[in-house]
Chain A
Amino acid sequence: MSDLEQTAGTPGPKKINVHHLTRVEGHGNIVAEIGTDGQVEACRWEVPEAPRFFEAMLLGKHFSDVHQITSRICGICSIGHQLASLQATEDAMGIRPSIQTVALRKLALHAENLQSHLLHVAYLVLPDLFGVGSVIPLASTHKNELKTLISLHRMANEFSRVVCGRTTHPQRLVPGGFAKLPTVKDLETLRRDLKDSLSGLQTAVDVLASVAGAIPAFTRPTEYVGLVSPAEYALLHGHISTSLDQTRPAGHYRDVTNEYMVRQSTAKWTKNKMGSLMVGALARFNLNHAYLTPRAKAAAKALGLSAPCHNPYMISVAQLVECVHSVEDSLALVDGLVARGIKAEARMDIRPRAGKGVGTVEVPRGLLIHAYEYDDQGRIVDADCVIPTNQNHGNIQKDMDALIPDLRDLTEAEIELRLSMLVRAYDPCISCSTHFIDIRGGGGRGSMVRFVHPN
């Protein structure tokens, strides 16, 4: 705790304390310390979220329940957590899902990316660029634009529902495949909705382009980390790549993430070649932009985003570009599924075996990793999960450090806004970021946690 006191009206020393930053998921604080000369001396990004101990809670759990438990880590990326979790379980059990399952899972991931990105760009970031405190005032000043954004978001939700059965915490995804499939008719309706949304997305691009001048010009090159694939803009599958280091198979994720703990945060931080690293839409764009669909490339151009981009405030722009990509790629996936026809596949009879597995998926906020070790009964003996927001915490702090000179001579309100916008750009999902903490922190084994199981 700092002993600096806030003394109103006089020039420093004092603190700007943004307690529980708004328009982000979960709890985070920003602290800026202002010296006697009235200038910012230090900024701090703090995560005080109550820990939920998900990794510990997974111990002893059966493989058929695990993806449903991990779904509850985050309401916004519940599909992503399920997909990473299923991959890890299937990897451990030696299961390969069918082509149809992979296509449907890709759709599920696109649906979630759309849902989350649109929520973030339209409801959480745009108000800053328009200079208002929430999306609500835009209902009177930009009614038509807001209506378009709302209908896009509704389409994304409907997209999730058609593929996964529910927009949040879906029930259809199971190890090995789908417990219930969308019909060809469902997919045809979806195709129409996706096509219709392209013009709305164009409006969204225009709206964002019209206020792009309000995006701060700030750059700090960092290490960008994400999945890559020789075939596509990697989201569901790929190797782990970084802008500064070699590409590695998923199983070697620890060589890149290197988690460590700091006092100011209940969440862990990561670093690799530099002092910190970035995952998420901008990192993906920097690594994979060549694989974007044509309309997505055009959107990037219209929004002034070109690779490599080192401005973290541009993450939201990259998110909107990804929305366009997701819609176009989904259209191709739907066409493929409709052409082949949806086949009922028997529920896979999975015989558990002891083993380890890793799942890596690009979720809205970046690279998500689930790694499990199972016993021969199919129950978890060890779980490790690395969450995108955690990987970004260190980068947010380093950005804040580098931002200090830009904060010179700004008013307190402006300083607060500039710092809040930075954190919001990362779209941190803090309530999830702290849930997963390495249970081996003390050097012991997770299996030492005692269970009260009578059987």
Chain B
Amino acid sequence: MASKPRIAFFDFAGCEGDQLQVANLEERLLDLLEHVEVVNFREVMTERSDDYDIAFVEGSITTPADIDRIKGIRKRAKILVALGACATIGGVNCMKNFMDESVYRTHVYGPMARAYETIPARPVSAVVPVDAEIHGCPIDKEEFLRVTKELLLGRTPWLPDYPVCMECKAAGNICRYELGRPCLGIITRAGCGAVCVTEGAHCWGCRGLAPHANLDAAKYVMIDRGGFSRRQVQDLLRFYNGYTSAPL
């Protein structure tokens, strides 16, 4: 039998919450370990190796050094998987992209403004090709298992192409708009079961735009029909989805 596929985890700018979700698989992580060999997982192990088949990458690319590092990882990995909102869509890190770089650098580091390098935050796919994406902030650990299994079986992982609203209705939630509150479920890719709405909040858009999402129609719903200010809508769209060429 061929040796076990070797998998590795890497992190860029992010909160490491997605790797935590993997650690939170608890016993099932041990089950997974019967089918794969983890060769690089800095957060939980000291051994490391540069010989791997699947690389899971968390976090956004935010420094020139990150660009070199992700290119190296891409070269060595057969399959590169972006893990979580920061890696798949740029995520919250992109909020800084709407600020003037030279100004915030100076105001963050004062006299040492030039000591540290930073570039506008971007998702991994903006720098190197990505083979699969596991969405969410944080990722859903069940989805991580499912996608990993599919990759191990040589399949292309399936992703929902409909919006969160579908799952939200299936969950029996009262629509936030009925309650006079905004929500991005109308344009966000499903797959989370509308967990944030179910838990009392609204959808913030962490799984990125659903394919063919109509931003103009969404803005019409939120601003003209929902009565929310342009700034409220902009805040919501820029929470996770700031890395886009669409005018947000």
Binding site for B on A (CB under 8 A): 20, 22-26, 50-53, 55-57, 59, 61-62, 65, 68-69, 72-76, 78, 119, 123-124, 127, 133-136, 139, 147, 150-151, 153-154, 157, 165-172, 174, 178-180, 261, 263, 266, 431-432, 437-444, 446, 448-455
Contact = CB atoms under 8 A, between A and B. Distances in A.
Interface in B204-248: 204, 229-232, 234-235, 239
Contacts of B234: 453-455
Contact of B24 (A26, A74, A157, A266): A157
Contacts of B235: 61-62, 65
B104 A56 contact: yes
16 contacts: A50-B13, A50-B66, A57-B95, A57-B99, A78-B15, A123-B44, A134-B47, A150-B27, A171-B200, A441-B107, A446-B107, A448-B103, A453-B231, A453-B234, A454-B230, A454-B234
B92 interface: yes
B137 A172 contact: no
Interface of B: 11-21, 23-24, 26-27, 30, 33, 38, 41-48, 62-63, 66, 91-93, 95-96, 98-100, 103-104, 106-113, 115-116, 118, 137-138, 195-196, 198-201, 204, 229-232, 234-235, 239
A438 B234 CA distance: 26
Contacts of B26: 150-151, 153-154, 157
A455 B110 contact: no
A171 B44 contact: no
Nearest to B112: A261
Contact of A75 (B30, B66, B138): B138
B116 A266 contact: yes
Given A23-B43, A50-B62, A450-B100, A57 B92 contact: yes
Nearest to A149: B26
A172 B200 contact: yes
A179 B96 CA distance: 29
A455 B112 contact: no
B16 A76 contact: yes
Contact of A124 (B19, B20, B44, B66): B44
Contacts of B104: 53, 56, 439, 449
Nearest to A124: B44
A166 B11 contact: no
B46 A22 contact: yes
Contacts of A52: 13, 62, 93, 96
A62 B195 CA distance: 22
Listed residue (A53, A78, A134) with the most chain B CB atoms within 10 angstroms of its CB: A53
B230 to A, nearest CB: 4
A344 to B, nearest CB: 12
Contacts of B239: 65, 68-69
Given A74-B15, A455-B229, A169 B200 contact: no
Nearest to A180: B200
A449 B100 contact: yes
Nearest to A49: B13
A146 to B, nearest CB: 9
Contact of A431 (B14, B38, B107, B138): B14
A76 B111 contact: no
Contacts of A431: 11, 13-16
B107 A439 contact: yes
B17 to A, nearest CB: 2
A20 B42 contact: yes
A139 to B, nearest CB: 6
A56 B229 contact: no
B103 A450 contact: yes
A151 B24 CA distance: 11
Contacts of A439: 104, 107-108
A442 B107 contact: yes
B20 A180 contact: no
B16 A25 contact: yes
B42 A448 contact: no
B199 A165 contact: yes
A253 to B, nearest CB: 20
A455 B223 CA distance: 13
B107 A448 contact: yes
B15 A432 contact: yes
A441 B109 contact: yes
Contacts of B47: 133-134
Nearest to B230: A455
